[in-house]
Structure 1
């Protein structure tokens, strides 16, 4: 396993990590969670990602019970939560100082830990001043309830404002951002965030590296019955796949397959390794509902060297979505 600094912080996270969105509490029970976590941990994974909004907290409960049952030493792993969708009441939503505090306390109880290593603002909140949220996060840091805080799917302007407020008011600034990043979603990570990396040393914990499974190639011949696109509550994923944009993406996957075949790798490994090639990616969050799936995804670490400049250029030619800039990753 490779370990990368989370932005300019001193924290080192595994290049591949394990997330719980869709899986824990939906497809994965406690016994399965213990197996997945132990396998990941034994393979060198040290970051486990979660959120209050994943299955209304059930995902955090299962992860917390699994970590507790496995007896993992607290100083050997990093665990996260996110705040935004905590319930239906007005005080259970968004990034108000009250909800930030309540969500943190609830996550600590569900995950059975004394502190969160990473705590994310799951989305920007237009109804709460950014200063209020920055101050609330700073207070949690001072109380020892969280170590680092960050954002998810914030734009560069919002991140810049948060840093400016933190600097002006002598508060703790955000350390990391959790954006979607894969071959089909590149603009934020490769383009918009470029000045943020350079000025603030932003770390990234990317989600959906396989574009909800589209980049694995498993949807080229239809939608398998056991896929997440057939899960209740995730009909929007199926609608996305069946749209004109989804069909265009499937055609790109068909064009990527010969590249993967020539390298002797799967489309899954090609797509994960492509994300890992970006030096601004701190960690790639994997999602797995089965042990075999996780074991296979972890093997992507072994093939990154096969993606040399020539291969990356061939991939770019197929994707035809390279963000404007002097270089691919804005270095």
Structure 2
């Protein structure tokens, strides 16, 4: 496993980051979750990402239990706040009340005194940005948070936060952004990536496999294979349904010879592709089985040739989405190719 600096900060994270959205506490039982976490540790993964909203907090509980007994200083734990965790008007957003209460609840569930990275899960239009940044800063000063990040913020929102942080103080400055990014969904490339490179903000990207579509296991004209995310229970089929379609599945199958040429599995090819990009510190993987973790972690340190990168672009062609207006919330916009 290789590690990269988290932007311009002094924190280093593993190139492959283990995440538990839609798995721990939802579609994967505790025994399987623990086995996956152990496989991650065995592969050299040190960075783990979760959120207060995943399985309504249960994902944090399961992750904390799976990591129990591991030397805390050897890990980088990241979680998030903003999305609804209850039915009350203050059970969401980035108000001082919700940020502080949610952080304390996450620490209890994770069984730790601090998190290394605390991220604003989305931008909150209802709360003054200064209130949010000061609340984050208070958590940093209290030793409960080491670094501050955001997720799925637009370039304009990140820029506004940076300007305000410079006025308020350096400990409130964002060091990381967590966007969706993969071969098909590249909406951060026109605006978010250039801004973050200039400002020393790292990207830790999620969905490098496009919900499993880029693994090549879904075939055009065929039902989802048994045991796959699309054939499972819970919310997973609803999310992956947004990116399934024969047009994209056919094009993905044409990537298989490129993976073979590189000596990689399809999943490793997709993950290595995301890590090729300057400014990206890590790619978040999820798993339901330990062998998936082992396979995906092997993408660390892989360097794709310019010829393979060019062939990927040529193969996917017009299916690639680079529209920066879709940065704000991937769940609000269905890619044009998803319905094909």
TM-score, normalised to structure 2, is 0.88
Unmatched 5+ stretches in structure 2? 324-340
The residue that corresponds to 1:328 in the other structure is none
Which residues in structure 2 correspond to 1:262-273 (within 5 Å)?
262-273=261-272
The residue that corresponds to 2:161 in the other structure is 162
Cα distance in structure 2, aligned partners of 1:194 and 1:49: 21
Give the secondary structure class of the aligned counterpart of 1:7.
coil
CA offset digits 1:99-148 (Å, max 9, x no partner): 00011000000000000111111111111122211111111111111001
Q: CA deviation at 1:322?
A: 7.9
Contact 2:27 2:233 in 1 (8 A): no
CA RMSD in angstroms comes to: 1.7
Change in 2 beyond 3 A, CA 1:104/1:295: same
Contact 1:163 1:173 in 2 (8 A): yes
1:232 aligns with 2:234: yes
Contact 2:208 2:274 in 1 (8 A): yes
Give the secondary structure class of the aligned counterpart of 1:180.
coil
Cα distance in structure 2, aligned partners of 1:98 and 1:114: 19
Q: CA deviation at 1:318?
A: 1.4
Give the secondary structure class of the aligned counterpart of 1:118.
strand
Which residues in structure 2 correspond to 1:235-314 (within 5 Å)?
235-242=237-244, 246-301=245-300, 304-305=302-303, 307-314=304-311
Give the secondary structure class of the aligned counterpart of 2:117.
strand
Q: CA deviation at 1:74?
A: 1.0
Name whichever of 153-162 and 134-143 sits farther off. 134-143
Contact 1:183 1:271 in 2 (8 A): yes
Cα distance in structure 2, aligned partners of 1:272 and 1:237: 20
Report the number of matched residues.
316
Which residues in structure 2 correspond to 1:26-105 (within 5 Å)?
26-68=26-68, 71-85=69-83, 86-105=85-104
Give the secondary structure class of the aligned counterpart of 2:253.
helix
The residue that corresponds to 1:329 in the other structure is none
Contact 1:152 1:179 in 2 (8 A): yes
CA offset digits 1:137-193 (Å, max 9, x no partner): 1111111110011100000000000011111122511110000010011121x2212
Contact 1:29 1:62 in 2 (8 A): no
CA offset digits 1:227-269 (Å, max 9, x no partner): 2223222342253245xxx333212202212222333322111
Give the secondary structure class of the aligned counterpart of 1:196.
helix
Give the secondary structure class of the aligned counterpart of 1:91.
coil
CA offset digits 1:11-45 (Å, max 9, x no partner): 11110110011111123233223222222112211
Cα distance in structure 1, aligned partners of 2:176 and 2:201: 5
1:185 aligns with 2:185: yes
1:141 aligns with 2:140: yes
Contact 2:26 2:234 in 1 (8 A): no
Q: Which has the higher contact order (CA 8 A, sep 6+)?
A: 2
Contact 2:43 2:294 in 1 (8 A): no
Q: CA deviation at 1:286?
A: 0.9
Contact 1:95 1:121 in 2 (8 A): yes
Change in 2 beyond 3 A, CA 1:62/1:198: closer
The residue that corresponds to 1:175 in the other structure is 175
Cα distance in structure 2, aligned partners of 1:238 and 1:2: 29
